[in-house]
Amino acid sequence: MGKKLIVFFFAIIIIVAISFCLVSSDSSEESKLGEKPWILSQYLLDNELEPVNQETSLICAFTDDNTLSGILGCNYYFGSFKLNGNKIDISNFKSSNLISNEKIMALENRYEELLLNAAYYSVDNNSLILFDQNYCEILIFKNESLSIKEKNWHLYYSDPEFSFLFLNDSTSLIFLENNSIVGSIGSIKYSGRYHLNDDNIQLNSVSTYNESDILIETNNETQLYFSLLEKIDSYFIMINQIDFFDKYGKVILSYSDLPNELFFNDWYPVSYTINNNQENPIPDDSYPIMCFSPDGKVTGNLFNTSFIATYYADGENMKIDQIAISRTTSEGNLEKSDDELNLFSLLEKTSSYSIFENCLKIYDNNQTDILKCFNEPPIF
């Protein structure tokens, strides 16, 4: 059951991600809608444009087959649209069935209402503005590209032909401001140059070095990795994850700035600590599971309740927020115990984590282990 829920969530994520890539190559005004995904920056509330909280992501992507899709905040949505000059009509709106805190849900409901009331649009440089029937601005989007620079990217996927590459935190890549790259593969350090042009990127002059900047010998594995780097033609970035494509549009390397040790395993919660620091077992028959993904999402099932959230981890630090849970349990209602609701609330207070001997512990600010997980499912 838990696995099926995870597959469902990742299917949604993949569909949304793919839709971002299905853009028109036409140069008309209409095609400008589909050049990049749009990120909501302001929305109309009480007759005034309000800025969107930076921790809340509302994304909209238009494709060349007149469909749109995106992220509401905790839910994913899709629909259709029609253009006629500067007129736009959005319809057939559908979304996933998750709930989050009141603030996020209020924003989602308002966004859906405004999106369906859009009657006109304009595209100006990096901005998309939607207007209502009275030409009043109701939604303002930006399509500013996310930066790949100054992040410590760790390899987690390579072309299956080269699956023996170091798929762990020891294979890294950093893009510096001066158009140079540095990184490591195992104990070997390397450097090179890169050139950016919108979503196109080329890497060249990749070679190894030691602390004295003296070239050192490389093995076959390192040379193959360097050859893949120099085949990179374009990229797509999703906040914590970056995919690199060759000139044929095939993904050849993928990196994340999150710890690989988290998402290389499925984690099975066995106990939680909440009131009076008492450790409570999680019933095996509720099929508990947590899966961290390279793009900063964590999905799973706790107490027969599926959930999705965002996370960030750096070293021992971890933050989990924007937790959204399914509207219905397997019994078809929203009845949940106080402990269940408190656990989801406490997860948003996550401060750090540790992994030791196949055990993941998630702590709050007081170093209380909120949740204990193992990377092997319980034996029934």
| Spatial contact of 270 and 282, defined as CB atoms under 8 Å apart | yes
Q: How many residues does the chain have?
A: 380
CA–CA separation, 173 and 191 (whole Å)? 9
> Which one-letter amino acid corresponds to residue 174?
I
Q: Which range scores top for mean pLDDT: 139-148, 188-197, 204-213?
A: 188-197
pLDDT of residue 153: 94
pLDDT band at 70 (very low <50, low <70, confident <90, very high): confident
Q: Which residue segments constitute the domains of the chain, with CATH numbers given? A: 2-142 (2.40.128.270), 153-256 (2.40.128.270), 264-327+339-374 (2.40.128.270)
CA–CA separation, 154 and 184 (whole Å)? 9
CB burial string 242-262: b at 16+ within 10 A, e below: bbbbeeeeeebbbbbbbbbbb
Residue with the two structure tokens 């204990």? 372
pLDDT of residue 104: 84
Look up the pTM and report it: 0.73
pLDDT band at 15 (very low <50, low <70, confident <90, very high): very low
pLDDT band at 341 (very low <50, low <70, confident <90, very high): low
Render pLDDT for 76-124 as a digit per residue (tens, 0 to 9).
Answer: 899 999 999 999 999 999 988 788 878 888 889 999 999 999 999 998 8
pLDDT band at 371 (very low <50, low <70, confident <90, very high): very high
φ, ψ at 53 (rounded to 5°) = -55, 130
